[in-house]
């Protein structure tokens, strides 16, 4: 028998945006492809990505990822001048793009990247429609999170 008996799903997480859940009420989630350069793919495989401060904009009928940082590897980017924060195009179907445009322009939603991962060898970005939280909503979220943690602690100690 082989050493690794774990079934592989072909999906591995590169980066998560934990701040998005705290700052926004997240709605519909959509998976989008990314247009990347070779050095960026190598850096993603090494886990050198951050999407905490990233956001998505719609410009000229196309979706663009701004603010995502992909730190270049020294070995992989020696022959090019890498730009870690360049604007990257998102690949979406026309229906998905039209729906996103409608939600953003008419209802005032924001498109927030929530996760970046590999799926069957391709880099994917999960984006969600988000509505900004007010300060009192954020306080309620912290209060609920603290209560859940205390509840788990009580249950664990009572056994």
Q: 141 in helix, strand or coil? A: helix
pTM: predicted TM-score of the whole model, two decimal places: 0.75
Q: Hey, what are 72's tokens?
A: 């270049």
Give the Cα-Cα-Cα angle 146, 150, 155 (nearest 5 degrees).
150
Checking DSSP bridges between strand 110-119 and strand 88-91, what pairing results, if any? unpaired
Q: Hey, what are 155's tokens?
A: 């249950």
Q: 48 in helix, strand or coil? A: coil
pLDDT tens per residue, range 33-82: 999 888 888 888 888 899 888 889 999 989 999 998 998 888 766 677 78
Q: Look at residues 47, 55, 56 and name the one whose alpha carbon lies nearest to residue 15.
A: 47
């Amino acid at each position: 028998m082989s050493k690794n008996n774990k079934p592989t799903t072909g999906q591995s997480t590169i980066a998560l945006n934990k701040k998005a859940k705290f700052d926004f009420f997240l709605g519909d989630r959509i998976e989008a492809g990314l247009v990347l350069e070779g050095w960026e793919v190598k850096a993603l495989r090494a886990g050198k990505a951050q999407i905490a401060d990233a956001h998505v904009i719609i410009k000229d009928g196309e979706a663009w990822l701004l603010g995502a940082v992909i730190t270049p590897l020294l070995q992989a980017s020696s022959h090019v001048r890498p730009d870690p924060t360049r604007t990257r195009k998102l690949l979406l179907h026309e229906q998905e793009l039209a729906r996103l445009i409608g939600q953003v322009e008419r209802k005032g939603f924001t498109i927030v990247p929530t996760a970046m991962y590999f799926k069957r060898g391709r880099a994917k970005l999960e984006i969600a429609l988000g509505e900004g939280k007010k300060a009192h909503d954020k306080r309620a979220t912290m209060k609920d999170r603290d209560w859940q943690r205390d509840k788990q602690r009580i249950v664990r100690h009572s056994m």
